[in-house]
A and B are shown apart, each in its own frame.
With several copies, the nearest count.
Chain A
Amino acid sequence: MQTETSVKVEQLKTAAEAAVAIIRFHGDITSTSKAVILDAYRALPAGTDKLIFDFTKVDYLNSSGIAILIQLLMEAHKTAQAVHSFGLSAHFQKVFAMVGITKYTHLYPDQAAALTAFS
């Protein structure tokens, strides 16, 4: 079955030269995405304290996928990482707010805004 998730991790810098890791999700975020997503998260360089989620290329996101994101936010919360997000459709911005996870990751309109907000 063609339900692929892929994740790309990149390193960015804020204007003040602080390191920011960005996780770009591609395809579906569902129960089958769990290993790929957790592996990518856990392979982040030690000491990463600023993180961005890029949802621009996500085609399909369901409640099991949101549960995986909550697991990431749980681990981020434990290590006091700050997580910013961008690229969600208006519909999924609403869904994130309904579920309450906007309390643990603020949503920005684009990458530049998500990055600037770390300064």
Chain B
Amino acid sequence: MTLEKPLSIELRLPSKLGFEKIAMQTAASYATLLGLGLDRVEDLKTAVAEACINAIEHGNHGDEKIIVGVILSMDHERLEVKVLDHGSGIQHAVLPPDIDKKILGEEDPRGMGMFLIQALVDEVEWVSNPPEGSYARLVIYLDREKH
């Protein structure tokens, strides 16, 4: 048993809403231990929570027996998070919410998760890899600040 990368950590969660809060705290304490500044830790928490919610709801269809995987790793330049599910992934682009349309009832009030992830991290990609599953890969650069 070895880890994918040096000093990486892995978390496996059941696909049940609420468990994204655990991923959020685990990511926060990993990032804090490795020196990420407080405001970027907040960005990371929200992005990881949203990616896990999508993996739980859309990737694994809320089947509690199926695992959501979270792999956190870091080098001198970047913190990377992979959130893995067993679904077929995402085929469409990220749509920025149109708040006026939402308020007028012309757009679903939901549908902001992927937008928020993209807005809060420095890099994101969604990779489909059936039959193994899919993952979102989020990256935060360390040099945007020195705390």
A-B contact count (CB 8 A): 81
Main secondary structure of the interface of B (DSSP, over half): helix
- List residues of chain A with CB within 8 A of the CB of B105: 74
Other-chain contact of A62, B42, B43, B50, B103 (Cβ < 8 Å):
B50
Other-chain contact of B99, A3, A71, A104 (Cβ < 8 Å):
A104
Residue B11 CB within 8 A of the other chain: no
Report the bound CA distance from A62 to B108 in whole Å.
16
Main secondary structure of the interface of A (DSSP, over half): helix
Contact between A98 and B42, CB atoms less than 8 A apart: no
CB distance from A110 to the nearest CB of B (A): 21
Other-chain contact of B34, A2, A95, A98 (Cβ < 8 Å):
A2
Residue B39 CB within 8 A of the other chain: yes
Residue B133 CB within 8 A of the other chain: no
Q: Please indicate which of the listed interface residues A63, A66, A104 has the most CB atoms of chain B within 10 Å of its own CB.
A: A63
Other-chain contact of A2, B32, B102, B104, B115 (Cβ < 8 Å):
B32
Please judge, given known A-B contacts A3-B33, A63-B53, whether A98 and B102 are in contact too, CB under 8 Å: no
- List residues of chain B with CB within 8 A of the CB of A79: none
Other-chain contact of A103, B33, B99, B112 (Cβ < 8 Å):
B99
